[in-house]
Amino acid sequence: MKRVLVSGGAGFIGSHLCTRLIEEGNYVICLDNFFTGRKSNVEHLLKYKQFDLVEHDVINPFWTDVEEVYNLACPASPIHYQFDPIKTNKTAIFGTYHMLGLAKRNGAKMLQASTSEVYGDPISHPQREPDWGNVNPIGIRSCYDEGKRCAETLCMDYHRQHDVQVKIIRIFNTYGPKMLPDDGRVISNFVVQALKGDDITIYGDGNQTRSFQYVDDLIEGIMRMMKTEPDFTGPVNIGNPREFTMLQLAELVLKQTGSKSKIVFKPLPHDDPRQRRPDITLAKTKLDWEPCVPLEEGLTKVIDYFRNLFSV
């Protein structure tokens, strides 16, 4: 039984990861400050003796004995990371610094949950790991984008200077049950608006693109990345290369919900990327991984989740 720590473990992605780690027989320490995480997301795990839920903010150090660290702590949707941009930056940078210190002290492996946002408004398409990105360092999104870029730098410096085994993944748009209905992400926005009969809001002309991976596919990629050879650090793109325009997504949500909502258009937010699609060649080669759940199937599960949530 391995002792593992998941920071941000009560969040949307973190709670799914904690469940998988428990199912595989690990002892899991789940850290969360409950800014975007919810105790209800991991309530089903509290019955296990090998699961500890600890309220803690990774801006502050945390010490324990662990063999693996999964650093997921950081608000990831614009509505949340722009709420307190200084705190977002501190979480991305100081939080990663403290988790790397924990890994160094324990001789543990650490997986860093980075993001496709490090590519900014991409110059090349699809996005490949060698791309350096095109990020506005003084924009309203930079607290998250640049915070995550600095976190990758810290990971590589700890790897080179202190021989810490680091694994960096760049997560592309992910969706699934346990998303917050008010997180501002496009799938939750569209589904919630459709179920409530509100107008579906598209920002811009609807031709900007995203690719969407179901959370189970992401968790599988995370698990495989952590098992790679010691000297392989990544970064590795983990995402679904199937690309949709926002208008296509809105029409699909309307079709699958049976909603009569209307689509309305509003101005595009500042620094919103025009395109987002991963090149997953490296993930296929190094992890033998690619996504399995098509958007149509995953959307059905998300729609059912929000329907049940609103009926309670």
Q: Would the CA dihedral through 179, 182, 185, 188 be positive or negative?
A: positive
**For this structure, is 175 an active site residue?**
no
| For the chain, the helix, strand and coil percentages under 3-state DSSP, each to the nearest 5 | 40, 20, 40
Residues 6+ apart with CB under 8 A from 106: 65, 66, 67
Determine which helix (DSSP H) or strand (DSSP E) holds 17, and give its type and residue range.
helix 12-23
Q: Residue 310's CB: how many other CB atoms inside 10 A?
A: 11
In whole angstroms, give the CA distance from residue 312 to residue 307.
Answer: 9
Catalytic residue among 119, 144, 158, 175: 144
Extract the tokens encoding 154.
């810290």
Cα-based distances in Å from 244 to 36, 88, 129, 240 = 27, 29, 21, 11
CA 194 to chain centre: 24
Q: How many CB atoms lie within 10 A of CB 312?
A: 4
What are the catalytic residues? 144
